[in-house]
């Protein structure tokens, strides 16, 4: 099963979102009207025929509007989930196609949750991949920033994972690793954005700064696709292995468990959005007395486009190229097989993402040291060199054309 189809959500924002059906003699079409943004812009209206909707989901963070009962039916029959987000990016609710009745899977899930050894094994694998992805992200950042101290401390804390005897021990290791991971992220985010951490005593991350707000949005989208995968496979979303399902737990614990291997997608996308200035302070604003940020609609859509591109970047796995939403589904299916004892292995570490920077410290240094004569010798013109030097001096993320990269490489070898 390869991920041939791109992830392509339809984002609906603002006031007065409408989702209904238009019933004709020949067919029943879905009609979707976007919300108003307060700037006087006429909202878009989209009409979709059954089985021909190009979007794999609807993401709604509008402030008002409605969805008709017939639209629920239409979306369910066409297997299009609806994810409803709060203004701060957190997932409020999801409307999913009917869940298959798979009693054997659920019974096995409940039994595994009561089995200390099996519960430990699954929780261990979840945290193992979370630590590995944290290392991957820090290695990616280290090509541009000096974060060696934080990386070293993260690695030291991670050494305790193989010695964790209980699920609680595993959680303690996870928390300590996360502390150094977020300190590394904090060290590279400009002070303008006031990012402190995701780790706070009150656990109320909300949207107290623009960076956290975008992380919330990214995690909300990832959570939506995890919920869809759990729904397709027939697992119980409230019964997890790493995260407890208690009266005080605000999230469905299996959903939270299965988000962990994929949170890096949100971390990388958010970091790139702020590095490249695709998002800046002008895109955010305060409302009311809750001291939380909101994001302008167009800026949010730019960010969701970046997130969509990251999801669709694909990864080689089992001889095919997979999209990351397909990987989420596949890993959920693998968990179900493990719970049913149809597989003795459970591994979330593969496929391994490839994270590459186009603006490493070495590249910046090489550009700034390149003389006009050397540049001319490898076919880099004066105007191109000026453009490259300007980018290399800035603190923004930048990309170079492949041919230019090759010429820069030639200049090193000569």
Q: How does pLDDT run across 376-393, given as a tens digit for each residue?
A: 777 777 777 776 777 667
Tens digit of pLDDT for each residue in 284-320? 988 766 677 889 989 999 999 999 999 998 899 888 8
What is the arithmetic mean of pLDDT over 319-340? 95
| Chain centroid, CA 290 distance in Å | 26
- Residues 166, 121: Cα–Cα separation, whole Å: 10
- Residues 243, 167: Cα–Cα separation, whole Å: 9
Verify cis geometry, omega within 30 degrees of 0, for the bond prior to 351.
yes
pLDDT at 308: 94
Cβ atoms within 10 Å, residue 217: 27
Range with the poorest average pLDDT among 73-77, 171-175, 397-401? 397-401
pLDDT of residue 148 exceeding 80: yes
Q: What is the pTM of this model?
A: 0.84
Percent of the residues in the chain that have a pLDDT greater than 90, as a whole number: 57
Tokens of 258: 């299965």
Q: Fill in the DSSP letter of residue 15.
A: B
| 8 A C-beta contact, residue 193 and residue 214 | no
pLDDT at 186: 94
pLDDT at 48: 95
Percent of the residues in the chain that have a pLDDT greater than 70, as a whole number: 86
Q: Is 346 exposed, middle or buried (0-12, 13-18, 19+ CB in 10 A)?
A: middle
DSSP secondary structure string for all residues of 202-261: T---TTSSHHHHHHHHHHHHHHHHHHHHHHHHT--TT--SSS---TT--S-HHHHHHHGG
pLDDT of residue 97 exceeding 90: no
Contacts of 411 (CB under 8 A, 6+ apart): 366, 370, 374, 375, 377, 378, 380
Tens digit of pLDDT for each residue in 246-279? 554 556 899 999 999 999 999 999 999 998 889 9
Between 352 and 63, residue with greater pLDDT: 352
- Residues 205, 156: Cα–Cα separation, whole Å: 26
Give residue for tokens 């943004």. Answer: 37
What is the arithmetic mean of pLDDT over 43-64? 90
pLDDT at 412: 53
Which of 23, 87, 6 has the alpha carbon at shortest distance from 321? 6
Distance (Å) of CA 82 to CA 25, 28, 253, 298, 386: 27, 19, 20, 20, 48
| 8 A C-beta contact, residue 99 and residue 336 | no
- For the chain, what is the total number of helices (H) and then of strands (E)? 14, 12
Contacts of 380 (CB under 8 A, 6+ apart): 370, 388, 404, 407, 408, 411
Range with the poorest average pLDDT among 266-270, 273-277, 345-349, 369-373? 369-373
pLDDT at 110: 94
Q: What is the mean pLDDT of the chain?
A: 86
In this prediction, residue 203 has a pLDDT band, given cuts at 50, 70 and 90, of very low
Between 411 and 216, residue with greater pLDDT: 216
pLDDT at 266: 97
What is the arithmetic mean of pLDDT over 136-164? 95
Ramachandran category for residue 209: left, alpha or beta (phi over 0 → left; psi -120 to 50 → alpha) = beta
In this prediction, residue 207 has a pLDDT band, given cuts at 50, 70 and 90, of confident
| 8 A C-beta contact, residue 2 and residue 320 | yes
| 8 A C-beta contact, residue 103 and residue 114 | no
Q: Fill in the DSSP letter of residue 189.
A: S
Q: Name the most confidently modeled range: 194-203, 253-262, 271-280, 394-403.
A: 253-262
Q: Name the most confidently modeled range: 112-126, 279-293, 342-356.
A: 112-126
Which of 33, 66, 34, 32 has the alpha carbon at shortest distance from 49? 32
Helix (H, G, I), strand (E, B) or coil at 34: coil
- For the chain, how are helix, strand and coil distributed in percent, rounded to 5? 50, 10, 40
pLDDT of residue 54 exceeding 80: yes
């Amino acid at each position: 099963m390869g991920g041939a189809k791109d992830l392509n959500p339809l984002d609906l924002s603002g006031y007065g979102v409408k989702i209904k059906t238009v019933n004709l003699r020949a067919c029943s079409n879905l009609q979707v009207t976007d919300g108003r943004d307060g700037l006087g812009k006429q909202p878009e209206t989209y009409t979709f025929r059954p089985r021909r909707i190009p979007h794999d989901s609807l993401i709604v963070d509008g402030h008002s509007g409605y969805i008709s009962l017939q639209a629920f039916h239409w979306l369910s029959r066409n297997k299009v989930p609806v994810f409803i987000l709060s203004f701060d990016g957190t997932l409020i609710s999801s409307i999913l196609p009917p869940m298959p009745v798979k009693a054997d899977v659920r019974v096995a899930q409940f039994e595994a949750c009561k089995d200390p050894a099996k519960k430990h094994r699954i929780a261990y694998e979840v945290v193992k991949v979370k630590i590995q992805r944290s290392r991957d992200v820090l290695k990616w950042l280290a090509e541009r920033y000096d974060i060696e101290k934080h990386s070293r401390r993260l690695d030291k804390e991670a050494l305790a994972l193989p010695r964790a005897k209980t699920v609680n021990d595993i959680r303690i290791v996870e928390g300590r690793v996360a502390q150094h991971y977020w300190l590394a992220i904090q060290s590279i985010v400009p002070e303008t954005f006031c990012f402190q951490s995701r780790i706070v005593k009150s656990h109320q991350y909300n949207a107290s700064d623009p960076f956290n707000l975008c992380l919330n949005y990214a995690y909300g989208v990832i959570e939506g696709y995890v919920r869809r995968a759990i729904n397709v496979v027939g697992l119980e979303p409230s019964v997890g292995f790493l995260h407890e399902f208690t009266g005080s737990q605000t999230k469905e614990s299996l959903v939270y468990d299965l988000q962990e291997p994929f949170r890096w997608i949100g971390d990388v996308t958010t970091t790139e959005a702020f590095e490249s200035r695709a998002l800046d302070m002008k895109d955010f604003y305060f409302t009311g007395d809750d001291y939380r940020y909101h994001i302008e609609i167009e800026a949010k859509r730019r960010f969701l486009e970046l997130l969509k591109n990251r999801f669709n970047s694909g990864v080689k796995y089992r001889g095919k190229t997979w999209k990351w939403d397909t990987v989420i589904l596949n890993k959920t299916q693998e968990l179900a097989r493990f719970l049913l004892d149809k597989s003795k292995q459970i591994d979330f570490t593969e496929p391994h993402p490839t994270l590459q920077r186009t603006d490493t410290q070495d590249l910046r240094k090489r550009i700034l040291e390149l003389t006009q004569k050397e540049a001319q010798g490898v076919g880099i013109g004066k105007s191109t060199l000026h453009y490259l030097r300007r980018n290399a001096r800035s603190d923004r993320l930048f990309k170079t054309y492949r041919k230019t990269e090759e010429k820069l490489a030639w200049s090193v070898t000569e």
